[in-house]
Amino acid sequence: MLQQAYGEDCLSRMQCNEWYQCFKSGRTSIKDDPKSGRPSTSMDDDHVEKVLAAICQNHRLTVCEVAKEVGICKSLCHLILTDKLKMRHVATKFVPRLLTDAQKENHVTVSQELFDCSNADENFLKNVITVDETWVYGYDVETKVQSSQWMGKLSPRSKKAHQSGSNVKVMLIVYWKGIVHSVFVPRGETVNKEFYLNVLKHLREAVRRNRSEAWTNNTWMLHHHNAPAHASLLIRKFLTKHETTVVLQPPYFPGLAPADFFLFPELKSSLKGRRF
């Protein structure tokens, strides 16, 4: 009857008879009885030290490689690493760039200077116009959240084929404290110092029209990063000639790019799933 009800996964007739006799004789547990023999010595201090030494020599070893080197089974090796040594297998964190100590000190110094300027002048941040660039695609795929739908309890889950963004894209340059000025880089053109100089000339006109008070009092400040086109001698001469204050930007410091945290994500979110 058990085999008819549960199929091949059920105990055989002989096994059922054996368990019946065990229960009839007074057995109440279905767990294995304790086995006699020598206790395992793989968890002693000597093996723990060998595992630790192997990991110290190469932190990228797998559990199987450590177990093979020490001469113990994989399960005990994993138990030593997690319970005895309290270790975790953590993936490497990728960062844009590994900074030198001098670059880190420069980041701290510039950040402190900007913080002091903000505390000393309540209008400091209001006068800063920051520039950043981003790629805008002709078609950008919707995110998984944007593709979500309300469904009934018994409704089948909707499906969507995997798509790729288009190869058609254009670079957008935005000068932002509110959008003061924006420009699309023509396809096939490079943002070099000559192109950027022309953009700065249009920026000054935009500041004169849209930020007349800052233009009249010459209180507006420009914040751009250290791209070759921005740091060229031609651009520095132009900014010096027109007495334009430039806010400090440490090298490889994406934290000072407010457009990346607010403007561009909101802009691209509204463009996903549309074709242009």
Please write the tens of the pLDDT for every residue from 175-230. 988 889 999 999 888 899 999 999 999 999 999 998 888 899 889 999 998 888 99
Angstrom distance (rounded) from CA 159 to CA 14: 50
In which residue are the tokens 């002709």 written?
138
Q: Are 123 and 169 in contact (CB under 8 A)?
A: no
pLDDT tens per residue across span 126-179: 899 999 898 888 887 887 777 888 888 888 888 877 777 778 888 999 998 888
Q: Which residues contact 129 (CB under 8 A, 6 or more apart)?
A: 175, 176, 177, 180, 203, 207, 211, 220, 221, 222, 223
Alpha helices in the chain (DSSP H): 2-6, 13-24, 45-57, 63-70, 74-79, 101-120, 193-210, 212-217, 228-231, 233-241, 258-261, 263-271
pTM for the model:
0.64
Q: Which domains does the chain have, with CATH numbers?
A: 42-94 (1.10.10), 101-144+165-271 (3.30.420.10)
- 107 phi/psi in degrees, rounded to 5: -60, -45
